[in-house]
Amino acid sequence: MVTGDDRRGPVPDNPVIVALDLATAEDAVRMAKRVLGHVGGFKVGLGLLHGPGPLTVPAIVDLGLPVFVDAKLHDIPTQVGAAARRLGRFGTRWMTAHVSGGEAMLSAAVEGLGETSDGWAGVLGVSVLTSLDGAALTAVGVTTSPGRLVSRMARVAAASGCEGLVCSPHELNVVGTVAPGLLRVTPGVRPVGVADGDQLRTATPEEAVRRGAGLIVVGRAITAADDPAAAAATIAESLLELAMDAEEAGR
């Protein structure tokens, strides 16, 4: 078992991570600058990593907020470890790897990323994609429900030394029960009135945070808005009010 590293960077108070799923690195940097004062960090996904390339990451890191590299690594441990080492050099705060690759693969990711980030970065295990539901899993031979599958995956991620787990809002509670030490990160977040798109297991930002999300990933609801900065600010303000209400209730 690989343990976590107490040198890991902080988790932002503002849980909103903007998915910069845009066509070019220039577009991504431009969007990041527009919303900079209203979010907690940024996500660089597969479209940018396999298009403009991983050098997009340091360009976003230079803006001063943590960057979540959604590489979704899934290969034999040696290959995943090598990829994690490379990504760690770019200043990433979090990097993703599929839990379905197994404990040895995740441990290799944790070790590789830790080596080149001096322990500052952490691996987020990807559980069941939010675009999948029970019927979609059954179609590929997985008869376990999404909730039970995520529960098992959370235990594997924790045993591998992952800092957190990526899951849908629907599984946040079960992850908190079986692996309370994991940072819970959820995509599939849609403010009221925003279409779900290709996401099947979704929730509003407020619902996700109430269920225990430490970070919420929001993409098109911000980046496709007429005023991305205003959209990001509205979400951040609603979550700040939620936190203040919870603090007041706890007194």
pLDDT at 204: 87
pLDDT at 4: 47
pLDDT at 247: 60
pLDDT at 190: 64
The reply to whether the predicted model has a pTM over 0.95 is no
Phi, psi of 24 (to 5 degrees): -130, 160
CATH topology of domain 16-249: TIM Barrel (3.20.20)
Phi, psi of 208 (to 5 degrees): -60, -45
**How do the pLDDT tens digits run along the chain, 251 residues long?**
344 456 799 999 999 999 999 999 999 999 999 999 999 999 999 999 999 999 999 999 999 999 999 999 999 999 999 999 999 999 999 999 999 999 999 999 999 999 999 999 999 999 988 787 788 888 988 888 888 999 999 999 999 999 999 999 889 999 999 999 999 999 877 675 555 454 455 678 899 999 999 999 999 999 999 999 999 999 999 998 877 666 656 55
What the block records as the tokens of 45 is 């996904």
Query: Given the DSSP bridges, would you call strands 122-126 and 67-73 parallel, antiparallel or unpaired?
Result: unpaired
pLDDT at 30: 97
Cα separation, 163 vs 157, in Å, equals 8
Helical ranges in 42-145 per DSSP H = 46-49, 56-61, 77-88, 103-117, 134-139
Query: Given the DSSP bridges, would you call strands 183-186 and 215-218 parallel, antiparallel or unpaired?
Result: parallel
Q: Which of 8, 34, 72, 89 is catalytic?
A: 72
pLDDT at 3: 45
Cα separation, 33 vs 47, in Å, equals 19
* 79 C-beta neighbours (distance < 10 Å), count: 13
Active site includes 72?
yes
Q: Where are the domains of the chain?
A: 16-249
